[in-house]
Structure 1
Amino acid sequence: METAIIYNSDLYFEHKQWRRELFFWEDEIKSFKNRLSELVNRWTDKKVLAQLEHYQNQFFIQESIIDKFQEDIIAHETNIAAHFKKGEDVLDQPLVKKHIEFRNHMDTQRRIYTDLKKEFYRFLSKYM
């Protein structure tokens, strides 16, 4: 059985990709919130306003998740930097395991966020 070697640079590369994706999501959410503001001014129907509030809450939740993910990435990069300063280019198993778990969380969050966007776009096409 061959042991895979995972280098700091590989993890850092993936972190950069995730951070770009998270920044993009943040930008999108700002745009979505602007659409919500437009709709709040346009509608008085309580059913529509309740849906607007639902999306406002969902976007707030997404922003919190994005913030947490950003913090986790920074913490992991700090750990990688500490290993690098010691001249260790290969991480130990617990850190790699944590990275893989984070990757799985990102994959799950990506699906959740995509579903929310699809749902919101359907809502917008109905009420814009």
Structure 2
Amino acid sequence: MEKEVLYNSNMHFEHVQWKRELAFWEDELKSFNNRLSELVTRWTDKDVLAQLEHYQNEFILHGGVIEDLQESIEEHEERIAGQSITGEDAIDVQLAKQHVEFRNKIETQREIYAELKKQFFRFLEKYM
């Protein structure tokens, strides 16, 4: 199996894509929370309200994950920028390893978020 070589420019490009994706998720969460607000005014059933609270909590948790991921990207970008300023062309093995680990986190979060959205949309179909 061939090892992947990660250049700073490629890591930066991937960071830009991730930032856009995270910003999109943030916007979606705002929209989802607006939907929750609409539903709270329509329903008094305790089971429905409990589900609304569940989704509200999930959205809060996911918002925190987004913030953590954004901070990690910024820290990684600062390290890349530091290398660029000092003119280091050598590949930072630790930085590349962290990048691959972070990529895995993003992919996992993508799956978790997709499942949450799917469940929420089913909930909306039932109660909107």
Verify same fold: TM over 0.5.
yes
Q: Does 1:66 align with 2:69?
A: no
Q: After the TM superposition, which parts of structure 1 deviate over 6 Å for at least 4 consecutive aligned residues?
A: none
CA contact 1:8–1:90 (8 Å) conserved in 2 = no
Q: Structure 2: which 5+ residue stretches go unaligned? A: none
For 1:2-81, list aligned pairs within 5 A: 4-81=4-81
SS in 2 for 1:106: helix
Q: For residues 76-121 of structure 1, give each alpha carbon's deviation from its aligned partner in whole angstroms, at most 9, with x where no partner exists.
A: 0000000001112343111100000000000000000000000000
Cα displacement (A) at 1:75: 0.3
Alignment length (residue pairs): 128
Of 85-94 and 117-126, deviating more is: 85-94
Cα displacement (A) at 1:71: 0.2
TM-score w.r.t. length of structure 2: 0.96
Q: Structure 1: which 5+ residue stretches go unaligned? A: none
Name the CA shift for 1:105/1:3 in 2 (closer, same or farther; >3 Å): closer
Percent identical among aligned pairs is 61
TM-score w.r.t. length of structure 1: 0.96
Superposition RMSD in Å: 1.4
Cα distance in 2 for residues equivalent to 1:94 and 1:30: 36
Cα displacement (A) at 1:6: 2.2
